[in-house]
Structure 1
Amino acid sequence: MTAKLHGLRVAAGKVLADIVTAGYEGVRADAEKVFGAARRELGAKTLDVALPDGTSLGTISILAGPAERTVNMSAVAAIVAQQSGAVEALRPEAVTDPALLAFVRDHMPHLIETKVRQEDLKAALKRIDAEGCLNGTDGKKVKVAEVQRGEPTGEFRYRPSPEAEAAIRRAWQAGELQELLADLIRPAVEAGGQS
C-alpha cells in the first residue's frame, strides 16, 4: 500500500471515528438524563449492565451531584500543625541559623512565628472526606469544610467486565445490537452515501 493510500485510510478513519464519537456523546448525554433521574428519584448509585442473554458487561456508577467545598483553612492548618508538627522559623528580619533559633526561642520568643509546611497543608486538603471532615490528632473527625451538593446530573462512569468486549462483538455480529445502537452508527453509515 502506498503512502497516499495510507494517508487516505488515516483521513477516512479519523473522520468516521469522529462521527461515531459524536454519536457516542449523544448516547451518553441521553443516558445521563435517565441516570440523573434514577439517582435523584430512586437513589440508584450503580447499574449492572448485561446483554439480553445475561452476559455481564460491567457496571455503571451514577455519580452524586457536583460538590462545592468551603474550607476552613485555619482548622485544617491547626490539624496539620498537630499531626505533622509546625515548623519554627525566625521572621524575615532574623537569620535561620539553628543555634540562633534556639537562642531566640529561649530569650526572644516574640521573634519566632510558627508555620505549617505547604506540602503538609496540600496533603491534608486531599484527605478531606466527602462530608468535609479531616481526622484530627486523636483520630476523631473534625469538620473543616462545608460541603454543598448539587442535584445529581446523571454523570456516570462505566467499568466494563473482563468479558464485555468479546460479548459485545458476538452480540453485534449476531445482529442483536444494531437497532439499539442505530443512532450511534447511522451517521457513519449515512456519511457513506448509501442510497
Structure 2
Amino acid sequence: MNLRDHATRVVVLRVLRDAVEAEYRAERRAVLDGLRAARAELALKSMRVTMPDDTPIATLTLIDPQPAVVVADEDAFSAWAAANHPGEVETLVRVRPAWQRDLFARLACSGPVADPHTGEVIPGLTVAPAPEPRSFSLRPMPGGAERVARAWHTGEIDLRRLLALGGGET
C-alpha cells in the first residue's frame, strides 16, 4: 500500500468509526432505557445477551448508584461543624471540602444524618435518594468476543442490517 491508499483508509475508517460510535451511543441509551423499564416492571437488573443461535456472549447489568449524604442547608451544617469540629472549618465559614468528604464517607445514608461518634443529628444534612441508574456494565462471556468476530466473518451477523448507518434500511 502506498501513502495515498493508507490516507484513504484512514479517512474511511475515521468516518466509519464516528458513525459506529454514534450508533453505539444511541443503542446504549436505548438499552439503558429498556433495562430501567424492565427493572421497574419486572424487577430485572441483569440480562444475558445471546447470538441468534442462543450462544451467550455477554451479560448486561444495571449499575445502581448509592444514596449519598449531601448538604441541604449550608449555614446549618457550617454552624454545626464550627461548634463541634472548629479546626475543620475555614475562616470563610465553610467546611473544609476534604474533611466534609471524609465525614460524609463515614455517615450512614439512611434516616436522619447523625454524628457517628455522638449520635447527634447533624443540622443542615439530609440523605439524597439514589438517582436512576445512569449506566450498565457489559461483561463479555468467555469466548464471547471471539464468537461475535466469527459470526461477523462468516456472515451470520449482517453489519449492514445491524448498523443501518444513517437510519435507513439496507
TM-score normalised to structure 2 length = 0.62
Q: Distance in 2 between matches of 1:52 and 1:60?
A: 17
Is contact 2:68-2:128 (8 Å) kept?
yes
CA offset digits 1:137-172 (Å, max 9, x no partner)? 3498x784232455x477433232342211211232
Greater relative contact order (Cα < 8 A, sep 6+): 1
Q: Are 1:163 and 2:143 counterparts?
A: yes
Deviation of the 1:129 alpha carbon: 6.4
Q: Report the equivalent of 2:100.
A: 121
- CA separation of 1:127 and 1:169: change in aligned 2, threshold 3 A: farther
Task: Give the root-mean-square deviation of aligned CA atoms.
Answer: 4.6
3-state DSSP of counterpart to 2:23:
helix
Correspondence 1:13 to 2:8: no
Match of 2:128 in 1: 147
Q: CA deviation at 1:13?
A: 0.6
- What SS class does the counterpart of residue 19 from structure 2 fall into? helix
| Length, aligned pairs only | 163
Q: Structure 2 stretches of 5 or more lacking a match?
A: none
**What is the alpha-carbon distance in structure 2 between the residues aligned to residue 123 and residue 29 of structure 1?**
34
Q: Which has the larger radius of gyration?
A: 1
Change (3 A) 1:50 1:68: same
Q: Partners in 2 of 1:116 and 1:6 — Cα distance? A: 57
Aligned 1:1-195 pairs, distance under 5 A: 1-52=1-52, 55-64=55-64, 70-72=70-72, 87=87, 117-125=96-104, 131=110, 136-138=115-117, 144-149=125-130, 152=132, 155-178=135-158, 182-184=161-163, 186-187=164-165
Q: Tell me, yes or no, if the aligned pair for 2:88 and 2:96 is still in contact at 8 Å.
A: no
Structure 1: which 5+ residue stretches go unaligned?
92-113
Deviation at 1:37, TM superposition (A): 1.2
Superposition TM-score, scaled by structure 1 size? 0.56
- Aligned residue type for 2:99: D
**C-alpha distance in 2, partners of 1:178/1:28?**
19
Aligned residues with identical type, % of pairs: 26
